Structure 1
Amino acid sequence: MPGHHPARSRRTTERKGDVRERAILDTCEALLADKGYDAMTVGDIAQGAGITRGALYFYFGSKQEVVTALVARTVEHLWERSRATARHDEPRPAVATAMRRTVELWNAHGTVMRTAIDLSLTVPEIGELWSHTADLFIAAITAVLERAGVPPGSEPRQASAMARALCWMIERTFYHASRESPEKLPEAAATCEHIWLISAGLDS
């Protein structure tokens, strides 16, 4: 039945496209770790993904677009972690779980996350992704603080304002720890966890 062939061909093309796009993003992540954003070229990405430059441009219009897509893929993992943190009932284990997962994420994707932070002020799409990610983590931290008895609200001693400060403190602490070495990440987590517990009145 001839009518079935286009559909079968289209599904095959879509699967092949997904594989190629994943290869492009995986290669980009590896090159960011090896060369950095400035030194990495479209040719490097295409070669690493096993395709031509022309084929790469079928998927992405520039190196910046590749990196933006890579950041988008990475922040999906971050969003999953923020939702998981919000589901914990008890504040203390929620904080410990959040810090453990933060270490895992920075170990797995620290290069991409540092690049996202570096580019967030100059690439609007990345800035928006990163800002949205921060808002989700702030909401999750706020929920933990409120469950610990911190009053809701955006005043300096209230949960939302404290969560915002905690979120950006955690980001910068892990950013600098990740730049030093992976071994610094658990130390960063322990420090952030301690400060978060103090903020929640759970440091005893």
Structure 2
Amino acid sequence: MAGAGAADLLVLRGAVVLTHDKPGCGNSTGNWRTQSLAARAEESLAAAALLSSHPAVASKECGLYGVSQGGWVALIAAALDARVRFVISNSGPGVSPAYQDRFRILNDLRQDGQDGTALTEAGRWLYERADRLLAGQFLEDVLASQESFKGSSWYHLTTRYFDTWFLSPKAWLRSRRCSRRYPEIHTASPCSLAPDTACS
């Protein structure tokens, strides 16, 4: 999960580094937009296990370095497997993914000139939609409720990340195994995923 420049720097400092691309990037097949963070964490753990199996590093501590979204992936992987002894999160999470996403969307609405009433209504819908989906409500029911806001000035900016030409809502939710398997990942703070971690 380390960027190429960071990998080179780590190697210069004596670390053994294995990098891998998320699906659809570099030489990896697939589509990162349809993969859950938990599935990506499992891939990272598989890469770490492969590296750790090499005799030259088998007795060494293994950690993960994640940049941006990779910071979330590294934290989730560390929470899933105690063999990950350390995490370096570069420009990674400071809040939960749900909070970060709502902040980004509401900020887009502010930049678009939406008024306080529109921000409040959009924010309420974002919370309600996430809560209903995480509670296991049928996608069709949630999307039917969402359609009632279609005439609202905030509708397009609030739904465009989830309802786009390259990713249908049904495909997106089917791919969110993370929601069903690890629902706390969407709402957890970084510190709750790794409570015994010292930050520096």
Give me the TM-score of the superposition, normalised by structure 2: 0.30
- Rg comparison, structure with higher value: 1
More strand by share: 2
More helix by share: 1
Give me the TM-score of the superposition, normalised by structure 1: 0.29
